[in-house]
Amino acid sequence: MIERRKSIGRFRLARGVGVVLAGWAVCIFASPGSAAVEFARDIRPILSDNCFACHGPDAKHRKADLRLDTEAGLLAVRPGDSPRPAAVVPGKPDQSLLFQRITHADPDKRMPHKSSGKKLSPAQIGLIKRWIEEGATWQGHWAFITPTRPKLPDVGNDPWVRTQIDRFVLARLKAKGVQPKDEAERRALIRRVTFDLTGMPPTVREVEAFVNDKSADAYEKVVDRLLASPRFGEHMTRYWLDLARYGDTHGLHLDNYREMWPYRDWVINAFNANKRYDRFVIEQLAGDLLPNATLDDKVASGFNRAHVTTAEGGSIKEEVYVRNVVDRVSTTATVFMGLTAGCAVCHDHKFDPLTMRDYYGLFAYFNSLDGNPMDGNRKDPAPVERVPTAEQKQRIKTLNAQLAQVDADIRGKVAQVKYVEPVAPSEAEPPKPVEVVWIDDAAPGGANLQGNTPWQWVTKDKHPVFSGNRATRRQAKGLSQHFFDGAKSPLRVGKGDKLFAYVYLDPKDPPKEIMLQWNSGQWMHRAYWGQNVIPWGADNSTQRRPMGKLPKAGEWVRLEVDAQHVGLNPGALINGWAFTQHDGTVYWDKAGIVTMTDQKPAFDSLKRWVVYERSLPKPSMAASHAAVAAIVKLDDAKLNDAQRKQLTGYFIEYVYSGSRETFEPLHKRQADLKRQVTDIEKSYATTLVFKELAKPRDAFILKRGEYDQRGDKVGRATPEFLPPMAEGLPNNRLGFAKWLVDPSHPLTARVAVNRYWQQLFGVGLVKTSEDFGSQGEPPSHPQLLDWLAVDFRESGWDVKRMMKQLVMSATYRQSAKATPAQYKADPENRMLARGPRFRLDAEMLRDQALAVADLLVEKIGGPSVKPPQPDGLWFAVGYSGSNTVRFKADTDDKIYRRSVYTFWKRTSPPPQMTAFDARSREECTPRRERTNTAMQALLLMNEPQYFEAGRRLAEAAMRSGNNPKARVAFMIQKALKRPATARDFDDLLGDHAFFQSVYLKDPESAKALIAVGESKPDASLNPGELAALTMVASTIMNSDEFVTKP
């Protein structure tokens, strides 16, 4: 209740701010390039950077009781015992304390104080002076005010304009007197947009089709095709994984494998299904809290489990818990709100109005995970969900259908049997010894499987199997065993019975000793073969009977033991069996008893069977037939019709001698199907999810952010300076997520569209896409950002529509060709006077190389894959006991998958990615650097997969043409998506001749060269020629044109 009241108060405050700001909004937005000094654009950044640290929101560290981040602090007379004049007196710089102090003659009094290391430039001082002279109009921080759809700038009827976006861009350019570029050539354009929407290059055919398409909507058709491609989702996901700090290992200490790829696949599917962004946010932050949460919703909630975790010995649980929650809060704030909340872990934010109380209010939403903060070095630290793949789902569906069929079959057949109690039950025939198999392909029902390590079932394809489909295998150093007890239908021992089992000893790794043990209520019955090294039981008694030498290795041998010899006398019930060995590798198969005692007696009389059942210590039926077990005990006379029917049905299906032949095969089939279902279910991938504790954990302000320095207890609350949570929302993560996507939220939509912009244009409209606070850069085109944000929200948060809107603009479609002077004047293209041109990201580079080489294997989703990387990278850093200390490359198709599927070990990420500025994913990364280094050159020239791609391109060229010119032309076309020019031939044919002269003379080098990579070279091609052409291909694939988005 208290929080609700606070929220209402806050709402008033926020509205008040809005009113104050209405005026400035018009001013800043309506006159781009206006000469007037604007507080929000020109002054606040100076004050924030130079003054707020001591005169800002952080009350605890505020100096001289002077506050410059609020209107009151700047312009109001300062209260106190003797009120002091305002820091700024509009129109009068000389009377303004602020101006006096930044221009003070005494260096000790001049601000910013020299101890801060900050200094104002004369230009900055001039701006402040002008701002005061012009009336010192104050404006709130732009990003904290809910955006409204701005009026479109009037740029007349300029034919350059294609979309509304272009009006904003053109207005700005016109004000600066700069001309935008015309549309890029079609080949460049389709290459650019295909990279931007799918992360891959277009095919030659797609390029030529577009070039030749004369229809007015040729480009739009391309865009629509790309947005519909499943590659779109893979590409968009790649950026999201940087934000979500997704990795395939824990990231700290042991850095073991951590299974979460179903979350990655969820993101891909979300983008491909064009999930609304608001749903995308809600499901990731609180999917588990949605009413009737689906498995997908829960998988999505893994977003806030993706942070790094540890189980380092010695770690203090509480400290790890706090770190985990801090990561969740900071990441959530950065990703969805562009806020650098991390500062407020230890103190009130120095620059933005985010207090520690605000921070820990957010903390309280994310601290109640129902799971241990330590990851236990497991791949699946709870809470997790098991997630079937589509394939697995299909298999299960098929098996269940088959099971249902068998069930129906059984039911039908039970109904057909007309059981009549015989007048004179037949006397049982004199029994003959029969072999009763107890263990074959599975342990008997109810068995509780145990062992030093789990039971290892192996199949015929790779191992010896004696009977059925599988056998068990055990490899041991010293004593080791697998066993069970608790079998539901025990073996009944009769006079003269023999126990048997089949064994196969690995001739390369024989054991010292093997032993069988039986449980008759106690494990007191043992027989062994080989050396007497297993010390259990009294030697040479029924507790440890020597049976002679080890059986012959390398073949299946039947072992037999007289039951009485090991103390199992007539009437004994065996409920457990152990397969024990010392050293070696041993396989076991088919085991049971040769007996004259009927194990599961068939009865031709229901009455006799009931009598028999009642004589047992407990009824013989499985747990699923508990109802029948209960009925059996009842007095026959008291049974109602339904009960009688149930009893009879069971009898017919399981016991009646007259129908055993009918039902036994069906039961076997049923058991087999059920086992297959269980096996598949056991192989489901796991993925980390969020799950709330039944009772939330208390949250406290932590002094200086220290886990053990608890201050005030705090409840869940959204930050004071942002609009309040709507009435009626639950005050939990779900409410929080819905608050984020409420139309009143000033940040969420802006931050999202800005990232899409950054993705396409290289730099966001707000360059600091991770920081929309006052230390972030103000937007280059504030109106455009707001227009896009409102449009995005009002379109129903339609991501594909937004991406389409951006790439349809004339701004995006501009040519990137410019003069060096133009590039120099605006290196980051903030004015947008040319098309976006920059080096492709790591993933796009690799995918492009694989694509032009026709090596790429496209398949959506699944476990992460390990393309080859240089030996020893993991080993050089890994903890000796980590399960990712040694890298083993995958083989076959897996090494040619798209890079979004590459296995990400966070303490040693894939070098093909990090060399091109991919970050480690140890923390949220809203944008990557884009560097240009010698290491990158070495990688592109020498990395085996890139080099192999060159060879594959050369092979295709050789098959397509029979002279160097045609082959070079082919490669240029396939790699650069344009016809070769005379200059290309000038450049490359001479080199080709040189390479040819080298490799025709040196076939050994040629053969070594074309053997690089995992795929085999085309044996029909001359190695010398192929080697020479491979070098030309590699040249093209190292060119700036190839590695850069045009």
Partner 1 sequence: MHPIDEYIQLETRRQFFGRGAKGLGLAALGSLMGANALPAGAATGAASTGRPDVPHFKPKAKRAIYLFMSGAPAQMDMYDYKPKMADWFDKDLPDSVRKGQRLTTMTSGQSRFPIAPSIYKFKQYGQSGAWISDLLPYTASMADDLAIVKTVHTEAINHDPAITYIQTGRQIPGQPSLGAWLSYGLGSMNNDLPSFIVMNATWTAKRDAQALYNRLWGSGFLASKHAGAMLRRTGDPVLYLRNPAGVSDAVRQRMIKSVNRMNERLYKEVGDPETHTRIAQYEMAGRMQHSIPDLVDLRDEPKHILDMYGPDVHKAGTFARSCLLARRMMERDVRFVQVFHRGWDQHGALPRDLPLQCRDIDQPSHALIQDLKQRGLLDDTLVVWGGEFGRTVYCQGKLTKTNYGRDHHPRCFTIWMAGAGIKGGVVHGETDDFSYNIVQDPVHIRDLNATILHTLGIDHERMSVKHQGLDVRLTGVEQATPIWPIMT
Site for partner 1 in 507-546 (CB under 8 A): none
Does 377 interact with partner 1 (rule: CB under 8 A)? no
CB of 787 to partner 1, least distance (A): 25
CB of 812 to partner 1, least distance (A): 17
Decide: 1031 and 1025 in contact? Cβ < 8 Å: no
Q: Cα separation of 187 and 1007, whole Å?
A: 36
Does 107 interact with partner 1 (rule: CB under 8 A)? no
Interface of this chain with partner 1, residues 255 to 294, rule: CB under 8 A: 255
Decide: 190 and 182 in contact? Cβ < 8 Å: no
DSSP state for residue 530 in the 8-state scheme: E
Does 733 interact with partner 1 (rule: CB under 8 A)? no
Which residue in the set 776, 778, 782, 836 belongs to the binding site for partner 1 (CB under 8 A)? Answer: 776
Cβ-based neighbours of 29, under 8 Å, separated by 6 or more: 150, 151, 782, 783, 786
Alpha helices in 554-700 (DSSP H): 606-615, 626-633, 641-650, 660-682
Which residue in the set 485, 770, 786, 1025 belongs to the binding site for partner 1 (CB under 8 A)? Answer: 770
Does 57 interact with partner 1 (rule: CB under 8 A)? no
**What are the tokens at 755?**
């990232």
CB of 815 to partner 1, least distance (A): 9
Alpha helices in 31-77 (DSSP H): 44-50, 52-55, 71-75
CB of 140 to partner 1, least distance (A): 17
**CB nearer partner 1, residue 234 or residue 358:** 358
Q: Cα separation of 212 and 503, whole Å?
A: 72
**CB nearer partner 1, residue 272 or residue 309:** 309
**CB nearer partner 1, residue 469 or residue 1044:** 1044
**CB nearer partner 1, residue 117 or residue 548:** 117
Which residue in the set 59, 415, 616, 1011 belongs to the binding site for partner 1 (CB under 8 A)? Answer: 1011
SS3 51: coil
Interface of this chain with partner 1, residues 330 to 349, rule: CB under 8 A: 334, 340, 342-343
Q: Cα separation of 361 and 205, whole Å?
A: 56
**CB nearer partner 1, residue 619 or residue 762:** 762
Residues in the interface with partner 1 (CB under 8 A) total 108
Q: Cα separation of 609 and 475, whole Å?
A: 44
Which residue in the set 571, 942, 979, 1001 belongs to the binding site for partner 1 (CB under 8 A)? Answer: 942
Does 837 interact with partner 1 (rule: CB under 8 A)? yes
Task: Please identify, among the stretches 6-14, 724-732, 850-858, 928-936, the one whose residues bind partner 1 according to the rule CB under 8 A.
Answer: 928-936
CB of 322 to partner 1, least distance (A): 11
Cβ-based neighbours of 319, under 8 Å, separated by 6 or more: 707, 708
Interface of this chain with partner 1, residues 349 to 368, rule: CB under 8 A: 350-352
CB of 665 to partner 1, least distance (A): 54
**CB nearer partner 1, residue 672 or residue 943:** 943
Interface of this chain with partner 1, residues 859 to 878, rule: CB under 8 A: 870-872, 876-878
Burial group, residue 704, by CB count within 10 angstroms (0-12, 13-18, 19+): exposed
**CB nearer partner 1, residue 167 or residue 813:** 813
Decide: 269 and 283 in contact? Cβ < 8 Å: no
Which residue in the set 224, 708, 712, 794 belongs to the binding site for partner 1 (CB under 8 A)? Answer: 708
CB of 333 to partner 1, least distance (A): 10
Does 943 interact with partner 1 (rule: CB under 8 A)? yes
Interface of this chain with partner 1, residues 1018 to 1037, rule: CB under 8 A: 1027, 1031, 1034-1036
Helix (H) or strand (E) holding 586: strand 576-595
**What are the tokens at 300?**
């999505």
**CB nearer partner 1, residue 432 or residue 983:** 983
Does 728 interact with partner 1 (rule: CB under 8 A)? no
Which residue in the set 1012, 1017, 1029, 1045 belongs to the binding site for partner 1 (CB under 8 A)? Answer: 1012
Rounded to 5 degrees, φ, ψ at 845 are -60, -50
Alpha helices in 724-836 (DSSP H): 733-740, 748-761, 782-794, 799-808, 810-813, 820-825
Which residue in the set 911, 961, 1000, 1014 belongs to the binding site for partner 1 (CB under 8 A)? Answer: 911
Cβ-based neighbours of 151, under 8 Å, separated by 6 or more: 29, 30
Which residue in the set 510, 584, 773, 868 belongs to the binding site for partner 1 (CB under 8 A)? Answer: 773
CB of 363 to partner 1, least distance (A): 16
Which residue in the set 314, 412, 430, 535 belongs to the binding site for partner 1 (CB under 8 A)? Answer: 314
* DSSP assignment string, 98-155: HHHHHT-SSTTTSSS-GGGT----HHHHHHHHHHHHTT------GGGS----PPPP--
Interface of this chain with partner 1, residues 294 to 313, rule: CB under 8 A: 308, 310, 312-313
**CB nearer partner 1, residue 349 or residue 800:** 349
Cα Dmax for the chain: 124
CB of 356 to partner 1, least distance (A): 15
SS3 654: helix
Nearest to 533 by CA among 520, 521, 544, 518: 544
**CB nearer partner 1, residue 469 or residue 1005:** 1005
Cα-based distances in Å from 703 to 59, 446, 707, 711:
15, 55, 8, 6
CB of 735 to partner 1, least distance (A): 27
The tokens 């207090």 sit on which residue? 355
**What are the tokens at 352?**
């933005």
Q: Cα separation of 649 and 668, whole Å?
A: 18
CB of 357 to partner 1, least distance (A): 19
Strand partners, 385: 687
Q: Cα separation of 518 and 562, whole Å?
A: 12
Which residue in the set 546, 933, 959, 979 belongs to the binding site for partner 1 (CB under 8 A)? Answer: 933
Draw the binding track, 813-832, toward partner 1 (x: CB under 8 A; -: no contact): ---xxxxx-xxx--x-----
Which residue in the set 80, 107, 117, 122 belongs to the binding site for partner 1 (CB under 8 A)? Answer: 117
Interface of this chain with partner 1, residues 978 to 1007, rule: CB under 8 A: 983-984, 987-988, 991, 994-995, 998-999, 1004-1007
CB of 560 to partner 1, least distance (A): 47
Dihedral angle of Cα 585, 449, 260, 888, to the nearest 10 degrees:
0
The tokens 């002091």 sit on which residue? 84
CB of 910 to partner 1, least distance (A): 11
**One-letter amino acid of 501:** A
- 21-30 long-range contacts, Cβ below 8 Å, gap at least 24? 21/139, 21/140, 21/145, 23/137, 24/137, 24/139, 25/145, 25/148, 28/139, 28/142, 28/782, 29/150, 29/151, 29/782, 29/783, 29/786, 30/151
Helix (H) or strand (E) holding 1004: helix 1003-1010
Rounded to 5 degrees, φ, ψ at 243 are -70, -40
Q: Cα separation of 748 and 740, whole Å?
A: 6
Which residue in the set 242, 771, 843, 847 belongs to the binding site for partner 1 (CB under 8 A)? Answer: 771
Does 938 interact with partner 1 (rule: CB under 8 A)? yes
Which residue in the set 907, 969, 1017, 1045 belongs to the binding site for partner 1 (CB under 8 A)? Answer: 907
CB of 532 to partner 1, least distance (A): 34
Which residue in the set 680, 831, 939, 1021 belongs to the binding site for partner 1 (CB under 8 A)? Answer: 939
